[in-house]
Amino acid sequence: MSDTHQHSIVFVRETMLPEQDPPVTERGIVKWMRQNLFSSIPNGILTLAALVAIYVLLANFLPWFLNGIWDAPSIRACREILDGGVGGCFAVLTERWNQLLFGFQYPDTEYWRPTLAFVLLFVAIAPVMFYKLFPKPMLFFTGLYPFLAYWLIWGGSIWSPIFALLGFVAGYVVWTRLVSKSFAAGFFGAIVAAFVVWTVGGYIVPALTPEETALVAVPSRDMGGFMLNMILGTVCVALSLPFGIALALGRQSDMPIIKWICVIFIEFIRGVPLITLLFVANVVLAYFLPPGTTFDLILRVIIMITMFASAYIAEVIRGGLAALPRGQYEAADSLGLDYPQAMRLIILPQALKISIPGIVNVAVGLFKDTTLVSVISMFDLVGMIRGPILASTEWNGVYWELLGFAAFLFFVVCYGISQYSQWLERQLQTDHR
């Protein structure tokens, strides 16, 4: 054995060295900046360019916002107060907030009604959106809400929404009785029962209009402002989802007639701009009605926007159905499930989970597209800005403040929808990645 190995000494430390802090570059904000902002020379250049752009934007925006005038009767008064300085004329928002939110013809004394309907909307959708947090009996209020909201916003006799509700109740009762025999019998029986109740109600309601059960009636032509955008967005999104599911299933049906009806409908609607459908709802649709027939404009617009959104949602859901492996359909067959049971219990829950991002994308786009109704002389939020407000001599020339307010309202709603969809995806995640 060599001398080196004979005289080697083995040392084993019996005590731990005192802990030392990691280097400054490997902890805290410095580490985060190195990893996310300055991980490479190109990333560092982009970070500096972004900081410069943010500085330029804030340097121009903050003085304009912080020096803004919130109390003035007109744009001329704002300019006199600013006296050549930089600042926004936000007084138009404080002076015309009611028109921006409710339109210029909705009665001032009735603002509480759409406000209450808006608050109750969150109560109604809470048990649907957060089904694990709220008891199931709250779903009864969810079913009642559309009829209550209609009565609050449009007013009139309370018996009209009551008979509308009774029609759906009668249709549901007939459905539960006949669906066990045949799906078609239950479906058409429910439709017939609902129409019978609604027809009877049409003759009874005029005789049941005591003053104590009626609110001041507000015609649809008096609806406007952001309230109109919320009505169109909420109703059309809620209606387009079930219609989109039905169209997606119909397009995959083995029955040729149903399949081709759905295919033609989807391809035609997707090939036509929404603004064209709105013009059809406003002008052309009246030519197909009997002479002297009045068809509510908001209802016509809701029908057209719902048709438009349903076609796009149908394609999104069809993509979710196509993404499912064939084994899921075979598993449903092996369990002895019929077509409605297989779709309700196995296929659609998975397809809808896959389709959540696409459905939310359509919903957000649909809500923003409600501003297109301004081109058919409906005074929604954008229509109010472009029409009565900017056309007035007091506020002619105030653009950034009004359009910025409109952008802020739409951003809040669309961002909330997006965040909820991401939360729902995390709740439905089952692969534990």
User: Both 278 and 394 in a single domain?
Assistant: yes
User: Both 195 and 251 in a single domain?
Assistant: no
Nearest CA among 96, 104, 64 for reference residue 82: 64
What is the domain-level CATH number for residue 325?
Answer: 1.10.3720.10
- Asked if the structure places residue 10 within a domain, the reply is no
Report d(CA 284, CA 268) in Å as an integer: 17
User: Both 232 and 195 in a single domain?
Assistant: no
Task: Specify the number of domains making up the chain.
Answer: 3
Predicted local distance difference test score (pLDDT) of residue 374: 87
Q: What is the rounded average pLDDT of the residues 198-216?
A: 75
Report d(CA 421, CA 431) in Å as an integer: 18
In tens, the pLDDT along 310-358 reads: 999 999 998 888 888 888 877 887 887 777 778 888 888 888 888 888 8
Predicted local distance difference test score (pLDDT) of residue 136: 83
Q: What is the rounded average pLDDT of the residues 347-375?
A: 89
- Asked if the structure places residue 129 within a domain, the reply is no
- Asked if the structure places residue 165 within a domain, the reply is yes
User: Both 196 and 257 in a single domain?
Assistant: no
User: Both 188 and 306 in a single domain?
Assistant: no
Tell whether the model's pLDDT for residue 407 goes beyond 90. Answer: yes
- Asked if the structure places residue 132 within a domain, the reply is no
User: Both 264 and 375 in a single domain?
Assistant: yes
Tell whether the model's pLDDT for residue 67 goes beyond 60. Answer: yes
Report d(CA 109, CA 121) in Å as an integer: 21
User: Both 165 and 306 in a single domain?
Assistant: no
Tell whether the model's pLDDT for residue 31 goes beyond 90. Answer: no
Tell whether the model's pLDDT for residue 54 goes beyond 90. Answer: yes
What is the domain extent for residue 185? 156-215
pLDDT band at residue 290 using 50, 70 and 90 as cut-offs: low
**pTM: predicted TM-score of the whole model, two decimal places:** 0.84
Q: Is the model more confident about 294 or about 131?
A: 131
Predicted local distance difference test score (pLDDT) of residue 7: 59
- Asked if the structure places residue 335 within a domain, the reply is yes
Report d(CA 106, CA 379) in Å as an integer: 11
CA distances for 427 relative to 51, 120, 220, angstroms = 36, 25, 40
User: Both 378 and 265 in a single domain?
Assistant: yes
- Asked if the structure places residue 144 within a domain, the reply is no
User: Both 63 and 178 in a single domain?
Assistant: no
Predicted local distance difference test score (pLDDT) of residue 210: 65
- Asked if the structure places residue 357 within a domain, the reply is yes
- Asked if the structure places residue 380 within a domain, the reply is yes
Q: Which two tokens stand for residue 154?
A: 């449009």
Asked which of 189, 215, 241 is the last residue of a domain, the reply is 215
Average pLDDT, the chain: 85
Return the residue matching tokens 């250049």.
45
Predicted local distance difference test score (pLDDT) of residue 266: 92
User: Both 211 and 223 in a single domain?
Assistant: no
User: Both 69 and 170 in a single domain?
Assistant: no
User: Both 170 and 41 in a single domain?
Assistant: no
